[in-house]
Amino acid sequence: MTSIERTAYPRFTRAPSVKELREIYTPTSTDIAFVATTARGPAQKFGLMILLKVYQRLGYFPKPETIPGAIIGHIRAVMKLPADLVPDIASNHTLYRYYAAIREHLEIQSEGKHIRHVAAQAMHQAAQVMENPADLISAAIEILVKEHCELPGFSTLERMARRIRNLVNTGIYQSVADRLTEAEQQALFSLIARDGAESFTALNRIKEAPKSATLTHLDEWLSRLTWLQSLGNMQPLVEGLRYAKVKHLAEEAHSLHATNLWDFAASKRLTLLVCLIAQAQVSTRDEILQMFTKRMSKLTSRAKEELERLREGERSTSEHLVEVLEREGGAAHLLEQCEQVAAHHGDRYQPFVWRYYTSHRKALFRVIKTLEFQSTTSDQALIDAMNFIIAHEQDPKKYLETTIDLSFASKKWLRTVMVRRKSKSWFIRQHLETCVFSYVAAELKTGDLCVAGSEQFADYREQLLSWEECEPKVAEYCQRLDLPMTAEGFVEHLRTRLTEVAANVDRTRPENRELIINERGEPSLKRLQAKAAPQGLAQLEEALREKIPERHLLDVLARIDHVTDFTRHFGPLSGNEPKTADAKVRQLLTIFAYGTHLGPHQMTRHLRGALNADQIAHLNRRHFTAEKLEAAIRDIVNRFHRFTLPRYWGDEKRVAADGTQYELAEENLLVERHIRYGGYGGIAYHHVSDTYILLFSHFIACGVWEAIYILDGLIRNRSTIQPTTVHADTQGQNLPVFGLAYLLGIKLMPRIRNWKDLNFYRPSREAHYEHIDSLFGDNVVEWDLIQTHWQDLLRVVISIQEGKVLPSMLLRKLTTYSHKNRLYQAFHALGSVERTI
């Protein structure tokens, strides 16, 4: 049986608050008029009003005896009825008459066959992507409410959900099994069969997690991908299935041991394995590419460090050159020193990449030969260069003929790669390879290159809605954000805003005592004076310490769950209800074990045999996912939002975003060394409301620019606290982020380090100012770029609002300069307007 608490099925709250009674159960003038014309005496009107307000809240008619007294009392008080008046809702005849009147008044569909048909259709569609019966029931309720249907009993919906889920899943399992030959089925079954004395099956290898991005691990992961691909191409087998369904089935298979899989029917067992392998193939490609880009970044860093070391030695080398020549006649030595100095003349680190690249050469070639790289633009120069170096991988010659286009390379790389010999230009093979690999890594980051069969490095354009799909939504979106609905109007709106703000700042500059512009034109702000602590603050803090008792964390968790019932979100990934009677207690203990970083083994030392470490690890693996944890957090945030006290701390419209470093196991692809704080770990990127509660968290690598993820917290936040302004530090901003935030209706207010060194942009070349002209320099907003790509900008933001992509997925591609990516350049131009304002 599915618990009603796990669904969106409406029900009475245990103790309705005064606010809830006032907002939901207070009769309106329309309600009063309806009751006055339908019922006669006070008791009849009282009873009809109770049923009307209760139906408006629930969407169905509950048994009269289950209606809370607080609701009846509130309606009695509003209608100014005597305390001893009993509502006339006792007899069945009266109830049926009132039900019919309310249905007609509210235009409710109450015909059972029609309601079941609507619910069944909604559940069947939801079952294509969802697994949990509670989610199917909630999906049906949403559609029934939209269709003005009276909700059937919960038990009716529960039976329908289980029947339809089984029907849909059985069809999915059988369709996948039918696509497999007998030999392929046996090959899959062999993955979960123990071979003799082996204690592990091949399933463990499929579920293996990636390690840190070392050269050895990159080589291991390439071998892993080769092995996974040898199991077969799983994409045709899951064709026609929704991605969310495949992902869920893969997660379920990942949470199971091999022995558990043998408990299922053959068709389900095969489907779980196929989905798991399909997801493993995709994620392994992503992980290889992450390792590849990190290794190339490391090679570049080492080359730059080598350049810096040579710079430091260059001065002493230059001072001794003449002395060496005069003392020893060392012309050959002089030539060697000159060549070394010339190698990095012009601030070039590129010639030094080769010496660190040689140990990586074999693995890097395996990457570009194993994966299928594609260009996301019409420019195929880099793809041609990759094919060229693959063709010459075994070529021993130092120089190669210049038969390919290197237009993607910078001037510094071209100077490194090309040389003139015998009146002809040649490629230096070693430097050509390092150049190509460097640009492969760079264009993977910018999205100019994509990889077939990848998720993180797929072609992001294919994930966006088409303009034909976006166009009907443009008017509503622009109206909601108060933006013009044409490209010309949008640009004029921005130009007017920038012009007016700049003119106003220039006009009020003499009166602004906080802003200082020195003789070099550099702006600075005076430091704000801290407010003095109010009298009695220390005494208040001491009184609070005395009156607020200490509580054990487990007691706090249990109390919060009693109020919010957040544990209803946790349970087996199969969607079934937990089979143990004390499931709630076990789930709370698991949350405590992992939430405090004790872990299952340390936790069991304090439980005195109540649970063992394997049971806690099993619960964590089988009952919890990131999505379920986010749903539980949302319940807690929503309950917190109902309190009055936090509203004195903030207006709930602002959120602060910042990262905190956590030490993690070093054998982890996420782990990197933090430059500022030292040590290895990851960054927990938090979004904290000004009402002092955490809204959203996300783990990111130490080297990632935090601005990439700053908008995710607001877009993915589904709580009742919906901030519109986000504060951050320097890492929480760049020009594309400013541009995207503006189009999403989010006000980005970062505290930027060295802000005086940033560029301010004029609305036009003719715009000059009396007091602040020195701030702008020669920078002018590229209005033509914004106007030309207005449709592309709207495609991005509407796709984000529709849940097709996350801001971070796009910002990963838009935060690195690319001369090919016009979308990057358009967001850069839009961001230049917003950051200047």
Contact in structure between 129 and 575 (CB atoms under 8 Å): no
Name the residue among 715, 658, 659, 708 with its Cα closest to residue 808: 708
Q: What pLDDT, on a 0 to 100 scale, did the predictor assign at position 509?
A: 87
Structure tokens at 182: 């007998």
DSSP assignment letter at 356: H
Predicted pLDDT of residue 120: 95
CB of 688 within 8 A of CB of 661? no
Strand order in the sheet with 399-401: 399-401, 424-428, 418-421
User: Closest Cα partner for 285 from 376, 234, 224, 375?
Assistant: 224
Q: What single letter denotes the amino acid at residue 363?
A: A
Return phi, psi of residue 724, to 5°: -120, -5
Can you give the pLDDT at residue 709? Answer: 82
Q: Which residue has the tokens 């392994």?
A: 284
Can you spell out the DSSP letters for 484-506?
Answer: -SSHHHHHHHHHHHHHHHHHHHH
According to the model, what pLDDT value does residue 318 have? 61
Pick the closest to residue 365 from 218, 167, 492 (CA basis).
218
**Residue 797: which residues within 8 A CB-CB, separation 6 or more?**
477, 740, 743, 744
Question: Which among 411, 309, 323 is positioned nearest to 352, based on CA atoms?
Answer: 309
For residues 683 and 689, give the distance between their C-alpha atoms in angstroms, rounded to a whole number: 19
Neighbours of 89 (CB within 10 A): 20
Alpha-carbon distance 445 to 455, whole Å? 13
Closest CA to 238 of 180, 308, 164, 285: 180
Burial (0-12, 13-18, 19+ Cβ within 10 Å), 79: middle
Tell me how many degrees the CA angle 709-712-713 measures, rounded to the nearest 5. 105
Q: How many CB atoms lie within 10 A of CB 240?
A: 11
Answer yes or no: are the C-beta atoms of 742 and 830 closer than 8 Å.
yes
The count of C-alpha atoms lying within 13 angstroms of the C-alpha of 156, restricted to the half-sphere facing its C-beta, is 13
Is the whole model's pTM more than 0.85, yes or no?
Answer: no
Q: Which residues on neighbouring strands pair with residue 375, listed in sequence order?
A: 449
Instruction: List, in order, residues 6 or more apart from 278 with CB less than 8 Å away.
Output: 234, 235, 237, 238, 246, 250
Burial of 587: CB neighbours in 10 Å, binned 0-12, 13-18, 19+: buried
Report pLDDT for 330: 55
Between strands 680-689 and 672-673, the pairing is antiparallel
Domain ranges of the chain: 4-106, 112-178, 200-290, 553-631, 643-836
Q: How many residues does the chain have?
A: 837
Write down the pLDDT at residue 706.
81
- Which tokens in the block code for residue 397? 């010659």
Question: CA–CA separation, 720 vs 256, rounded Å?
Answer: 35
CB 285 within 8 A of CB 454: yes
Residue 530 corresponds to which tokens in the numbers above? 């801290």
Judge whether 390 and 469 are in contact, CB under 8 Å. Answer: no
CA 765 vs. chain centroid, Å, equals 40
**Average pLDDT per 10 consecutive residues for the chain, totaling 837 residues:** 84 85 92 92 92 94 92 93 87 89 93 94 92 91 94 94 94 95 94 74 91 92 96 92 90 91 94 96 95 93 88 67 56 53 65 92 96 91 95 91 91 91 88 95 90 90 87 90 91 93 90 83 83 90 89 92 91 82 90 91 84 90 90 93 90 90 77 67 88 89 78 86 90 87 90 85 90 87 92 90 81 72 88 91
Q: What was the pLDDT predicted at 672?
A: 73
